[in-house]
Amino acid sequence: MTEMPTPIPLRDRTVDALPWLVTAAMTLATFALAFGPDWSSLPARVLMLIGFVAISAHLLRGRGRQFFNGPVAYVAAGSLLLLVVLALFANEIAPQNPYDLRQLDIMDGRLPPGSTTFDGAMTYHLGTDEQGRDILSGILYGLRVSLSVAIIATLVAMAIGVVVGIYAAWAGGRVETILMRLVDLQLSFPSILVALMLMAAFGRGLDKVVIALIIVQWAYYARTVRGTALSEARKEYIDAARGLGLPVRRIIFRHLLPNCIPPLLVISTVQIANTIVLESSLSFLGVGVPITRPSLGLLIANGYDYMLSGQYWMSMYPGVALLAIVASINLVGDRLRDTLNPRLRK
Amino acid sequence: MSVLEVRNLQTHFFTDAGVVKAVDGVDFALNEGEVLGLVGESGSGKSVTGFSILRLVDPPGRVVGGQILFRGQDLAQLPASEMRRLRGNKIAMIFQDPMMTLNPVLRIDTQMIEAVRAHDKVSAKAARDRAISALSKVGIPSPAERLDAYPHQFSGGMRQRVAIAIALLNGPDLIVADEPTTALDVTIQSQILAEVQDLARDTGTALIWITHDLAVVAGLADRVAVMYAGRIVETGQTDDVLTTPGHPYSVGLLGSIPGHGQRGERLTQIPGMAPNMAHLPPGCAFAPRCFNADERCRTDAPGIEDMERVRQLRCHHPLTKAGGTP
Amino acid sequence: MLVYLLRRIAQSIFVALAMMVIVFFGIYMIGNPVDILISPDATPREIEETMARFGFDQPIYIQFLTFVGNALQGDLGRSFVHGESAVTLILHYMPATLELAALGLIFSVLIGIPLGVYAGYKADRWQGRAIMTGSIFGFSLPNFWVGMLLILIFAVELRWLPSTGRGDTVDVFGIRLSIFSENGLQYMILPALTLALYKASLVTRLARAGTQEALVQDYVKFARAKGVSETRILFVHVLKNIMIPILTVLGLELGSMIAFAVVTETVFAWPGMGKLLIDSILTLDRPVIVAYLMMTVLIFIVINLVVDIVYTILDPRVRVTGGAG
């Protein structure tokens, strides 16, 4: 009796196109909305929330119990969802539009939390800044700026990193050496330093921050993807695909690429948090987002001058919001790493 | 008087794959100055027995039952701090791999002096002197200079000598040696065996020598206990067990020693593999590999039976008859 | 060993040259420095004169070669704002940053090692988990945020420590240092703690992983068999083993500590070279930015080299192959 050879699977993971399509659509939507006028389209924002929930659910399908292993995971996931909702629907939730100068009253400047407007029509629950802007509204809109800048920069950097990383791994030889030397060179310098230099060269601006944050991050993804691609390329299914005479393009896009992406997802979650921190640091230093579109970092910087005289609320509350968003993303990312990383799973 | 008496010792490992009963009801006793050879294949529970005596079983393992009476005191019930005071002092241990047992980044003197000072509040100078005399006892040349060296500057055999010297530092009543010569070259192995035998005789220290090699035990031990699947299947005077093994498993172990049988004859092997400890067969654990097993062996586990001359066996069909001479 | 060292030095020189190219084309070619140098209502003749004086009328490659030539002689131009040599300016501000980074590094070890070792010892218990969750916060908190909070608590509310500025300094070999004066040290504590927090989280994670790995080694079990106390096992046997990799990483992180000092120094108005950099960026004082960058690159390269060499000295196992045993 002759033994039947076991067929080699062409891919070692079932690849689902859906999450990638949703991710791409969300990137475009975020991009359009962040730079468009005031994020006015409500249906688009509802769609983004659905997309966010869909991706999260897709990532965790069948692994919910593993992810939610304790109270910390519930609190982190819950607060992340809450903050995303707050950022998306700031228009509807915020008592004031902080970008609309007609709504501000300079007479209401630097009021402590709980103060009301002169006519008593509105309460400043978290106080006001020096221009009489409601801090709570500023935080909600600032949260949106911080989040969207970080998400766009991270996703675009990831796309560039994936292309470069796969290209380097596939091309090999001198191309690979040069590309990876470049990556090593960039990564040997702290991201804050590179970003500062770029902003020094570009000048401040929303688009410039995003570009600087992309340049800072791409190398990190390129290195990770090249590593994964190299180890994937050695596996049998790639050989099998090559043996079948499939075109290179098809092997890369249908076989290599989908298998390189799952490890990136975990990294990019944590990387979004790092990017928020980096952007807020740049804005705090005065070389980040413009004054017309304050992010949380810039709000903190604006209030910082008054903090030593005891008017803590202008910096403190945006600071708490920044901590909440960064910590919840990091905690979720930490749980994701434990849940999704097959090497750690027993 | 017995230094150590182990009664119905049970050490289990609580793994994801189920509870592994690595040691499942082991009994033995050891008199002052006596050498006991604890023999078995890897996975038979012999090392776990040794570690259980010192209460050094790593999680997920745990001593779950039985008594470990050291000079009448039950070690299994002793608080951790008192157990620490006994370890390295009254009961010492020598490990299998000398390359791993010494801390690579600490000098030998640090590792020896701390062993003395953990139990005796003596000066560093006095501790150092004791370390030097222990090193010269195990045959390390110019011990005073060697004390300042790091472990990697010693060969494997020398490192094991250092480990033995550390075990001897506080003049223990009992030393548990877990395959201390397995990782060494054969020539060094026999040197160390001879030295340990002399040292044990001179100091009157009782010794438990754990090994998979019956040939090692032959020249060294007063008594032998053969372990299989967490239980002792045969004990007796070394000569008796080696010349007239009563358990089929002992026979198998003896058959796989070269030079024991006739020249030109093939070494016999025990058929099959060491059992999966998480799923032991219902009857005698050795039955699936035994040439002599019948239906009864596969369903009931045999109990321990006394034979003549302090001999005990756990077999339904012993090869030496109970009470009779072989 | 010597071959390795030479290769490392050659690599470093290559990195320095590459950075020189990037810095020159990155900072000098974007925008027109004349706009900052000359008032907007200057006459075309004045503009031309200034261009010629700074050499901006030359072709790019000539400008680059001049830049490299001057840089090799230790001249990176004059500050537009201060009118001083940019290198002198950086050197003047550098000690304040270096002492801050050094104290930060010490704090991060003092905080991170005990926490990490304990977390590794109690890895599966709530204590270990709590420390690890805490370290995520340590990673998450932005530097300036921590500084702000510390000022609010210890300077504004409790009034234990001064909030901003540098305080007294002591001259050591002609260098002004705060670390040796009591008053100066008080001013340093909060900024150094701020700078230390991120690295302390890193050290905690490294120490925990190292401890977990070391605890299952035979030498730990053997030490237990000797009757050595758990405290001594953790803080002598385990610690000595994990210190080498941790110190290596920390040495490499000293560079990023200097970079992150930019944020901390701004929060605490600490007169170091990070604050100088931010001020120069805001006033577009290019020579100072370039000088800062080139000096930082130099510091990075030196740190990497020194860490490599120290590592071979620290580890007795590596040392022997070097022939010193």
Task: Give me the residues paired with residue B6 across strands.
Answer: B28, B68
- C148 and A286 in contact by Cβ < 8 A? no
- B87 and C226 in contact by Cβ < 8 A? yes
Categorise residue A33: left if φ over 0, alpha if ψ from -120 to 50, beta otherwise: alpha
pLDDT value at position B256?
65
* Cα–Cα distance for residue pair A338/A330, rounded to 1 Å: 12
More confident residue, B151 or A2: B151
Question: Residue range B270-278: average pLDDT?
Answer: 74
- Phi, psi for residue B306 in degrees, rounded to 5: -80, 135
Question: Residue range C197-210: average pLDDT?
Answer: 91
- Phi, psi for residue B11 in degrees, rounded to 5: -125, 120
Residue with tokens 């800048």: A149
CA distance C73 to chain A (A): 24
Q: Which residues of A88-105 are buried (b: 16+ CB within 10 A; e: fewer)?
A: bbbeeebebbbbeeeebe
Q: What is the dihedral of CA B196, B201, B207, B210, to 10 degrees?
A: 40
Question: Residue range C79-107: average pLDDT?
Answer: 87
DSSP string, B41-52: -TTSSHHHHHHH
> Among A107, A129, A126, which Cα is nearest to A117's?
A107
CA distance C219 to chain B (A): 4
Which structure tokens are listed for C12? 């470093």
More confident residue, B289 or A218: A218
Question: Residue range A10-20: average pLDDT?
Answer: 50
Handedness of CA B133, B138, B142, B147 (dihedral sign): negative
* Cα–Cα distance for residue pair A216/A194, rounded to 1 Å: 7
Which structure tokens are listed for B179? 């395959």
List domains and CATH numbers for chain C. Answer: 93-294 (1.10.3720.10)
The pairing of beta strand B223-228 with beta strand B231-237: antiparallel
- C300 and A188 in contact by Cβ < 8 A? yes
What is the value of ipTM here, to two decimals?
0.84
Q: Angle at which helices C273-282 and A191-202 pack, to 10 degrees? A: 20
Question: Residue range C90-118: average pLDDT?
Answer: 91
Residue C164 pLDDT greater than 60, yes or no: yes
pLDDT > 70: percent of chain B: 92
pLDDT value at position C200?
92
Contacts of B87 in chain C (CB under 8 A): 224-227
DSSP string, C105-123: HHHHHHHHHHHHHHHHHTT
Please report, for residues A80, A327, C201, the alpha-carbon distance to residue A319 in angstroms, rounded to integers and kept in the order given.
16, 12, 20
Report the mean per-residue pLDDT for chain B: 83
Of the pLDDT bands very low, low, confident and very high (cuts 50, 70, 90), residue A278 is very high
Residue of C nearest to B119 (CA): C227
pLDDT value at position C302?
84
DSSP SS3 for C27: helix
> Among B180, B323, B310, B317, which Cα is nearest to B241's?
B310
Residue C107 pLDDT greater than 90, yes or no: yes
Task: Give me the residues paired with residue C85 across strands.
Answer: C78
Residue C309 pLDDT greater than 90, yes or no: no
pLDDT in tens, C113-157: 999 999 988 888 888 888 988 888 887 788 888 898 888 888 887
DSSP string, C169-219: -EEETTEEESTTSHHHHHHHHHHHHHHHHHHHHHHHHHHHHHHHHHHTSHH
Handedness of CA B75, B81, B86, B88 (dihedral sign): positive
Choose the closest CB to C316 out of B97, B110, B152: B152
Of the pLDDT bands very low, low, confident and very high (cuts 50, 70, 90), residue B264 is low
* Cα–Cα distance for residue pair A86/C308, rounded to 1 Å: 49
DSSP SS3 for A286: coil
pLDDT in tens, B20-54: 888 888 888 888 888 898 988 887 888 899 999 99
Poorest-pLDDT segment among A231-240, A265-274, C204-213, C258-267: A231-240
pLDDT value at position B319?
76
Question: Residue range B139-152: average pLDDT?
Answer: 87
Question: Residue range B269-295: average pLDDT?
Answer: 77
Rg (CA), chain A: 23
**Among residues 222-241 of chain C, which lie with CB inside 8 Å of chain B?**
222-229, 232, 236-237, 240-241
DSSP SS3 for C56: coil
Of the pLDDT bands very low, low, confident and very high (cuts 50, 70, 90), residue C193 is very high
Residue with tokens 């978290």: A126
Are C230 and B56 within 8 A, CB to CB? no
Q: What is the pTM of this model?
A: 0.79
pLDDT value at position A346?
34
List the subunits that have 3+ CB pairs under 8 angstroms with C.
Answer: A, B
* Cα–Cα distance for residue pair B289/B318, rounded to 1 Å: 15
- Selection from A252-256, C21-25, C99-103 with the highest mean pLDDT: C99-103
> Among C195, C239, C233, which Cα is nearest to C106's?
C195
Are B317 and B292 within 8 A, CB to CB? yes
Cα C237 to the center of its chain, rounded Å: 30
* Cα–Cα distance for residue pair C175/C171, rounded to 1 Å: 5
Of the pLDDT bands very low, low, confident and very high (cuts 50, 70, 90), residue A27 is low
- B92 and C228 in contact by Cβ < 8 A? no
> Among C197, C142, C195, which Cα is nearest to A277's?
C142
Residue B245 pLDDT greater than 90, yes or no: no
Residue A8 pLDDT greater than 60, yes or no: no
pLDDT value at position A312?
78
pLDDT value at position C322?
38
Burial of B187 (0-12, 13-18, 19+ CB in 10 A): exposed
Please report, for residues A139, B139, B199, B210, the alpha-carbon distance to residue B142 in angstroms, rounded to integers and kept in the order given.
74, 9, 19, 30
Are C239 and C113 within 8 A, CB to CB? yes
> Among B186, B151, B185, which Cα is nearest to B165's?
B151
Residue C61 pLDDT greater than 90, yes or no: no
Of the pLDDT bands very low, low, confident and very high (cuts 50, 70, 90), residue C308 is confident
pLDDT value at position A3?
45
Residue of A nearest to C284 (CA): A200
Residue with tokens 């005191």: B73
Task: Give me the residues paired with residue C157 across strands.
Answer: none
Q: Which residues of C282-321 are buried (b: 16+ CB within 10 A; e: fewer)?
A: eebbbbbbbbbbbbbbebbbebbeebeeeeeeebbeeeee
- B97 and C216 in contact by Cβ < 8 A? no
pLDDT in tens, B302-323: 877 776 667 888 888 777 654 4
Burial of A31 (0-12, 13-18, 19+ CB in 10 A): middle
Question: Residue range A259-275: average pLDDT?
Answer: 81
Residue A1 pLDDT greater than 50, yes or no: no
Of the pLDDT bands very low, low, confident and very high (cuts 50, 70, 90), residue A78 is very high
* Cα–Cα distance for residue pair A268/C86, rounded to 1 Å: 39
More confident residue, A313 or A108: A313
- Phi, psi for residue A31 in degrees, rounded to 5: -60, -50
- A297 and C149 in contact by Cβ < 8 A? no
Which structure tokens are listed for B213? 């090699």
More confident residue, A75 or A236: A75
pLDDT > 90: percent of chain B: 3
Is the CB of residue C125 less than 8 Å away from at least one CB of chain B?
Answer: no
How many other C-beta atoms are found inside a 10 Å radius of the C-beta of residue B161? 24
- Selection from A102-106, C135-139, C312-316, C317-321 with the highest mean pLDDT: C135-139
Residue A345 pLDDT greater than 70, yes or no: no
Cα A283 to the center of its chain, rounded Å: 17
Residue B201 pLDDT greater than 50, yes or no: yes
Poorest-pLDDT segment among A79-83, B180-184, B231-235, C54-58: C54-58
Q: Which helix (H) or strand (E) holds A120?
A: none
Question: Residue range B213-233: average pLDDT?
Answer: 85
* Cα–Cα distance for residue pair B324/B317, rounded to 1 Å: 14
Are C127 and A281 within 8 A, CB to CB? no
Residue A137 pLDDT greater than 50, yes or no: yes
List the subunits that have 3+ CB pairs under 8 angstroms with A.
Answer: C
CB-based contacts of C91, cutoff 8 Å, min separation 6: none
More confident residue, A108 or C213: C213
CB-based contacts of B303, cutoff 8 Å, min separation 6: B314
Contacts of B89 in chain C (CB under 8 A): 227
Question: Residue range A76-102: average pLDDT?
Answer: 83
pLDDT in tens, C24-36: 777 666 556 666 6
Angle at A188 between CA A186 and CA A189, to 5 degrees: 75
CB-based contacts of B281, cutoff 8 Å, min separation 6: B275, B287, B288, B298
pLDDT in tens, C276-297: 998 888 887 878 888 888 888 8
Residue A130 pLDDT greater than 80, yes or no: no
- C143 and A281 in contact by Cβ < 8 A? yes
* Cα–Cα distance for residue pair C265/C178, rounded to 1 Å: 14
- C266 and A322 in contact by Cβ < 8 A? no
Contacts of B93 in chain C (CB under 8 A): 222, 225
Residue A24 pLDDT greater than 90, yes or no: no
Q: Which residues of B248-274 are buried (b: 16+ CB within 10 A; e: fewer)?
A: bbbbbbbbebeeeeeeeeeeeebeeee
Long-range interactions of C36-40: CB distance < 8 A, separation 24+: C36/C80, C36/C283, C36/C284, C36/C285, C36/C286, C37/C80
SS3 percent helix, strand, coil of chain C, rounded to 5, is 75, 0, 20
- C260 and A190 in contact by Cβ < 8 A? yes
Are B305 and B322 within 8 A, CB to CB? yes
Report the mean per-residue pLDDT for chain C: 81
Cα A239 to the center of its chain, rounded Å: 35
Ranges of each domain in chain B: 2-81+212-313
pLDDT value at position B268?
65
Q: What topology is assigned to B2-81+212-313 in CATH?
A: Rossmann fold (3.40.50)
pLDDT value at position C208?
92
Burial of C223 (0-12, 13-18, 19+ CB in 10 A): buried
